[in-house]
Amino acid sequence: MLDGDWSGDSRKTPIETLLIHEFMKQTALTASEQLHIAAKASEPVTFRQVPHNIEAEQLLLGAILVNNEVMDRISDFLRAEHFYDPLHTNIFETILQLLAANKTVSPTTLRTFFENAEPIDSDLTVPEYLWRLAEGTTTIINAREYARTIHDLSTRRRLILIGEDIVNTAYDSPVDMPPKAQVEEAEKQLYQVAEQDKYGQGFFDLKTAMTQAIDVANNALMRGTDLSGLASGLIDLDNMMGGLQPSDLIILAGRPSMGKTALATNIAVNVATQSRLARFQANPDGAPEPAVVGFFSLEMSAEQLASRILSEQAEIASNKIRRGKITDGEMARLMAASVALNNAHLFIDQTGGISIAQLAARARKLKRQRGLDLLVVDYIQLLSGSAAKAAGGRVQEVTEITTGLKALAKELEVPLIALSQLSRQVEQREDKRPQLSDLRESGSIEQDADVVLFVFREEYYVQRAEPSLNDVEAHQKWQVELEAVKGIGEVIIGKQRHGPTGSVRLQFTGEFTRFDNLDRDHPLAGKTD
């Protein structure tokens, strides 16, 4: 009969019933003990309600009905969808609409909108409920605390929904949602929850905005520079750009062998070894915090990039480092450079062929865990977009990528340097200096970018134009021309939304793949075209 009782329990699945039968057979329990277990097992599972606080919602709505100025204290973070009760959501939405129309909100003015609403129960209509909300309010002092409680409980409910989505998607395992995509989507949703209070701060009065502007200028003055952004470490370039500005998408483009990656790593190391701007510190009045740089190296491994950086800093040819063909003195310089870079907050992701969605998820995670001041992507053409955009052609895919990079820079509030290849049409011109029209694959690169920088080294082209040694006059002329451009790199600012365009000259040491400031005594130092 006991077995029959178990099998008759409609709440048990066949597998559960079989397991219980096996348990009963293999355990030497008395009949009374078995009945006790059966009774416990048949008890319904306790139902857990999602977090909510109806009383806080009622007290807040009542406070608004009594004094409309309460909305000024809570409107910066509370929205209608944060309420748990659907009726309260409807009431709050109606209140917002009336206030937007410059009308007074009270049970009387709201009554019109709820005359035909479904009664709460047989003894209470919605208009009557509005009066009870107002009458039940004793104070408005705690209104902001009630609103914060409602908001926090809404966040917890959202986390529960995200968790349920993760579980359900993992169970269903749809073809178009592989595990990696599920992880990325979960990270994106969680990041949105974490960051939802950091945006939309509302209006700033002119006094506040001017104070912030003066603080930026004062911070630059205290640093002894006239830069409002991060210093790239390249004086003439910083003078033209005012530093690397937060939220800017900076495209760094050039033909192969021009030194795009070298310039990007130089800037990354320079930023990673300086202090964070005061206005981005967790405690602006505290000790200086180190700047954090994220570097997506889609082409080179982390070890190869580290070898380049060590070569630049120790001034030892990278091929000698890789082969171990260095002297004791060079080894000492290498170790010294390594120790000096130990405190640099430079984080490298060497994963190749990632999508723009994966890159964004990893950048968000880095900012959440370590902070972030500069992001570098090497390079755009190695990124992939969504399957839908890829099916529409490479132009649409690149458009999605550049739009995503700009949105990411704005979202994370950091300068984002993205490297890009140039089309071969540069090689067909007599003047090899790049132009905006040379950007490969999509006009969206130029459109989405706040700044477009071109790396150009005339030395590269002059070297390859060496005439025959038999033509002595031509060869001598070529040597003079080569000497004039040797070791000179040029960064052309092809576009800058908030500053001038032109070009600056830098010192380039090919042996160490390193860009430096020109010697101040050099005739081209400080000159811009």
Burial 33-61 (b: 16+ CB within 10 A, else e): ebeeeeeeeeeeeeeeeeebeeebbbbbb
Place of tokens 């930023």: 271
Q: Output the pLDDT for position 40.
A: 54
* Per-residue pLDDT at 326: 77
| Model pLDDT, residue 88 | 92
Q: How far is CA 43 from the centre of its chain?
A: 48
Question: Nearest Cα to 143, choosing from 67, 53, 60, 65?
Answer: 60
- Contacts of 38 by beta carbon, 8 Å cutoff, 6+ apart: 2, 5, 6
- On the 0-12 / 13-18 / 19+ scale of CB atoms within 10 A, 68 is middle
Domains and CATH numbers, the chain: 2-42 (no CATH), 54-146 (1.10.860.10), 207-446 (3.40.50.300)
End-to-end CA distance of the chain: 97
Closest by Cα among 454, 355, 444 to 403: 444
Task: Specify the pLDDT at position 495.
Answer: 86
The predicted structure's pLDDT at residue 440: 62
Q: What is the pLDDT of residue 4?
A: 43
Per-residue pLDDT of the chain (529 residues), as tens digits, is 444 444 444 444 544 554 555 555 555 555 555 555 555 555 555 567 888 999 899 999 999 988 888 887 787 788 888 999 999 999 998 998 888 777 888 988 888 888 888 888 778 888 888 898 888 876 778 888 899 899 889 889 988 888 888 888 888 777 777 787 788 778 777 766 765 654 445 555 666 656 656 665 565 565 555 677 788 888 888 888 888 888 889 989 888 878 888 888 888 888 888 877 766 666 666 677 788 889 988 888 887 888 788 887 777 777 777 777 778 787 888 888 777 777 788 888 888 778 887 788 788 878 877 888 899 998 788 887 766 666 666 777 778 888 888 888 888 888 999 998 887 777 777 777 887 877 766 567 778 888 989 888 887 777 777 777 777 777 778 887 777 778 788 888 888 888 888 888 888 887 777 888 877 556 555 555 6
Angle at 112 between CA 115 and CA 97, to 5 degrees: 125
Provide the 8-state DSSP code for 496. Answer: E
β partners of residue 252: 419, 453
Q: Cβ distance 254 to 503 under 8 Å?
A: no
Per DSSP, the residues of 331-342 read HHHHHHHHHHHT
Strand partners, 290: 275
pTM recorded for the entire structure: 0.60
Distance separating alpha carbons of residues 529 and 520, to the nearest angstrom: 17
